[in-house]
């Protein structure tokens, strides 16, 4: 299994830029081209929310057109910038697992050595996340029914504070309910999120919890300064490869065009001068 996780694309309507100067539509199209050109092709791409910036149908038109170019199966969930109904209308043709109920977007994928669960933590009109009783019940049922299958969960909002002054107040407000499930179900070993526009890794009990970078704009990590900064640091995605014996290995894959790999040559590494 090799998954490529990308996040927080924040598409705008045709011809519009993010914050009036960032060409998210063009940059996301380039990102998708880079994904399609990966030398080691992933089995699927996961997008962990914030497909568009303002939840508008015109933004989803652009998102759908660009994401249609993806050369891989797509698993997608909404984030706080998404509108559940418009998200579903635009993304379901690309990800049929989403189902038909915008208020209950959740699904499981059973094709890989690890079981994959996808849930919606968005709360209409709010930046913070929330796990509804129905989502928590579904998660509990899934974990109970497949207790011997190692499981990774994808959700937009991280379920616990990560020490970021800007992002912690808008994490998943009742994430502690998920932490209780982590305690009860040892097979739940990974929680992969978006939302923070940055690679951040922590752990709760047996579960490694990580957030991944945005595809275009990033959010700097400050512990004390909660001003709403963003920046245009180099972009990347996070690859998740299941390695026999070891288990899941995740690594950062930069996306900016770069020279192809050089081959290490011991003859020139430490030359002995004549
Ligand atoms: Fe975002």
Which pTM does this prediction carry?
0.95
How many angstroms does the Cα of residue 126 sit away from the middle of ligand 1?
13
CA dihedral 163, 138, 57, 199 (to 10 degrees): 30
How many angstroms does the Cα of residue 148 sit away from the middle of ligand 1?
34
Cβ(194)–Cβ(49) below 8 Å: yes
Q: What is the sign of the dihedral through the CA atoms of 143, 100, 126 and 15?
A: positive
205-237 confidence digits (pLDDT tens): 999 999 999 999 999 999 999 999 999 999 999
Give all domains of the chain, ordered by start, each with its CATH number: 2-269 (3.60.21.10)
Residues β-bridged to residue 204 = 207
How many angstroms does the Cα of residue 213 sit away from the middle of ligand 1?
9
Q: What is the sign of the dihedral through the CA atoms of 123, 55, 22 and 5?
A: positive
The protein residues having their C-beta less than 5 angstroms from ligand 1 (an ion) are: 8, 50
68-116 confidence digits (pLDDT tens): 999 999 999 999 999 999 999 999 999 999 999 999 999 999 999 999 9
How many angstroms does the Cα of residue 265 sit away from the middle of ligand 1?
42
């Amino acid at each position: 299994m090799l998954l490529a996780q990308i996040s927080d694309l924040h598409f705008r309507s045709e011809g519009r830029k993010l914050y009036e100067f960032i060409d998210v539509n063009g940059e996301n199209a380039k990102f998708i081209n880079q994904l399609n050109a990966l030398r080691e092709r992933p089995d699927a791409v996961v997008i962990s929310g914030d497909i568009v910036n303002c939840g508008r149908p015109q933004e989803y038109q652009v998102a759908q057109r660009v994401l249609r170019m993806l050369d891989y199966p797509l698993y997608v969930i909404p984030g706080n910038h998404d509108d559940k109904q418009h998200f579903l209308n635009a993304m379901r043709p690309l990800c049929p697992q989403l189902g038909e109920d915008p208020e209950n977007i959740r699904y499981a994928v059973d094709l890989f050595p690890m079981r994959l669960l996808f849930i919606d933590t968005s709360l209409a009109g709010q930046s913070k996340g929330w796990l509804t009783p129905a989502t928590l019940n579904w998660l509990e049922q899934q974990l109970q029914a497949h207790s011997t299958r190692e499981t990774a969960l994808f959700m937009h909002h991280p379920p616990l504070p990560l020490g970021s002054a800007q992002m912690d107040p808008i994490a998943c407000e009742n994430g502690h309910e998920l932490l209780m499930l982590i305690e009860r179900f040892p097979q739940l070993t990974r929680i992969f999120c978006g939302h923070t526009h940055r690679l951040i890794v922590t752990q709760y009990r047996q579960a490694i919890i990580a957030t991944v970078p945005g595809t275009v704009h990033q959010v700097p990590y400050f512990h004390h300064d909660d001003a709403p900064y963003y920046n245009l640091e180099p972009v990347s995605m996070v690859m998740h490869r299941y390695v026999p014996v070891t288990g899941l290995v995740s690594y950062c894959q930069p996306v900016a065009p770069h020279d192809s790999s050089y081959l290490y040559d011991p003859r020139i590494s430490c030359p002995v001068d004549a």
